[in-house]
Amino acid sequence: MAKVSMVLNGKSVSADVEDRTLLVGFIRDVRGLTGTHVGCDTSQCGACVVHVNGKAVKACTLLAAQADGAEVVTLEGVGSADNLHPVQAAFREHHGLQCGFCTPGMIMSAIDMINRHGAGNLDEKTIRHELEGNICRCTGYQNIVKAIKAASDQMAGMAQAAE
């Protein structure tokens, strides 16, 4: 067993888990945050993407013990039903989801790519390249790309307005 502590969505949490417990298992099964999905468990689909210390990570590729001491953010930590993150709002507005299974990972990857490239600096080719690790089984990529581009541009406008 391993004692794992982390800051999860801004809250300090800890639990004793089996050494083999994956971060995605810690998030879903130990903490009950089921917004992070498991599509493959083998690092193929991207449904499990969360942010670890500010970077997008497939939570099925990391042991919970490897995230000990880390700051972890899941979909539940980026917005709420009453206060959607601009990326979540853009997915809703541009119909960026079909069955919705890949959506949590898509949104977490999208926020990460906007953070890395800077809001307003994403074109379609870059977004498609960045999404290589996220699979949509409905193959609805067109509206996902549109939603990410719109969110990126909107966030750039918000940043300008705040200056």
30, 34, 41, 154: which one binds ligand FES (CB under 6 A): 41
142 part of the interface to ligand FES, by CB under 6 A: no
44 part of the interface to ligand FES, by CB under 6 A: yes
- Compute how many residues bind ligand FES; rule: CB under 6 A: 12
Cβ contacts of 30 within 8 Å, gap of 6 or more: 15, 17, 21, 64
By the 10 Å C-beta count (0-12 exposed, 13-18 middle, 19+ buried), 7 is classed as middle
Q: How far apart are CA 122 and CA 118, in angstroms?
A: 8
Binding flags for ligand FES, 53-82, as an x/- string (CB under 6 A): -----x-x----------------------
Q: Which two tokens stand for residue 37?
A: 């999905």
Q: How many helices (H) and strands (E) does the chain have?
A: 5, 5
107 part of the interface to ligand FES, by CB under 6 A: no
4, 47, 87, 110: which one binds ligand FES (CB under 6 A): 47
Q: How far apart are CA 56 and CA 50, in angstroms?
A: 6
| Interacting span for ligand FES (CB under 6 A) from 5-13, 44-52, 87-95, 148-156 | 44-52
Residues 21-40 that bind ligand FES (CB under 6 A): 38-40
Pair 103, 45: CB distance under 8 Å:
no
Of the pair 9, 134, the CB lying nearest ligand FES is at 134
Give the interface with ligand FES as residue ranges (CB under 6 A): 38-41, 43-48, 58, 60
